[in-house]
């Protein structure tokens, strides 16, 4: 049954992109999510910049991702509890999005807050272990010339504090950030209890660049999705 739901959801999303007349505008989706998902926080501000390196030492910057919607999260691989769950939630979102044409329009970015331990090999193994597809996902760490706390400071710029403990563990919250094609932070989804489909619908509105509400006679995406669950 869950598999059928996933397939049906992907089909509904593809239909929405192919026929933009059915797509809700960002304004409509924003209001719907305010009403329906208490873990959704709308934002409209310049996203804090970053320039880090991936597992192979290649530099990746937020500026270099302009033109794509970015789904961003922060974890560290030694985290024993919520970080693995967050990685798996990101993988779930990636599967949903990558079943649609949005695959080419969205980049998933994970930043480690423990660059000292999270070497390139560790980053590669972690992504593979949690089902993340490198086709449009990248795991970033500090460059050799950056201080050890540089990625924790980036997380703090996004409103998320990672406090280093004596045992190497870090106290932190969980947030999934959504950045639009122009580098503006547009939403935060707090914790792990938000409905994945809500984030996918929000990303869909951004990829459609649908900024103004419009009338439509046919059932919209929200109505189609309600019938699937």
pLDDT digits (tens, 9 = 90+) for 65-98: 999 999 999 999 999 999 999 999 999 999 999 9
| CATH number of the CATH domain containing 102 | 3.40.30.10
Distance CA 222, CA 107 (A): 24
Q: What pLDDT was estimated at residue 25?
A: 79
Domain that holds residue 158: 2-226
Q: pTM for the complete prediction?
A: 0.83
Query: In the chain, how many domains are there?
Result: 1
The mean pLDDT of 150-156, rounded to a whole number, is 97
Distance CA 7, CA 211 (A): 28
The mean pLDDT of 195-209, rounded to a whole number, is 93
- The answer to whether residue 7 scores a pLDDT higher than 50 is no
Distance CA 227, CA 49 (A): 40
Q: How many CB atoms lie within 10 A of CB 95?
A: 15
């Amino acid at each position: 049954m869950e598999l059928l739901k996933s397939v049906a959801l992907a089909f509904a999303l593809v239909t929405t992109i192919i026929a933009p007349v059915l797509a809700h505008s960002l304004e409509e989706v924003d209001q719907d999510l305010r009403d329906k998902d208490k873990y959704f926080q709308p934002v409209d501000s310049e996203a804090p910049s970053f320039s880090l390196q991936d597992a192979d030492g290649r530099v990746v910057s937020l500026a270099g991702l302009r033109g794509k919607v970015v789904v961003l999260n922060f974890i560290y691989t030694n985290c024993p509890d919520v970080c693995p769950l967050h990685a798996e939630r990101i993988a779930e979102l990636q599967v949903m999005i990558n079943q649609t044409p949005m695959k080419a329009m969205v980049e998933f970015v994970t930043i480690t807050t423990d660059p000292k331990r999270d070497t390139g090999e560790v980053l590669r193994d972690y992504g593979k272990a949690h089902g993340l597809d490198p086709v449009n996902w990248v795991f970033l760490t500090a460059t050799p010339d950056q201080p050890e706390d540089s990625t924790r400071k980036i997380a703090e710029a996004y409103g998320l504090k990672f406090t280093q403990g004596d045992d190497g563990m870090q106290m932190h919250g969980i947030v999934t950030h959504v950045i639009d094609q122009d580098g503006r932070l547009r939403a935060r989804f707090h914790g792990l209890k938000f409905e994945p489909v809500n984030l996918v619908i929000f990303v869909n509105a951004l990829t459609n660049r649908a900024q103004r509400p419009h009338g439509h006679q046919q059932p919209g995406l929200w109505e189609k999705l309600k019938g699937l669950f």
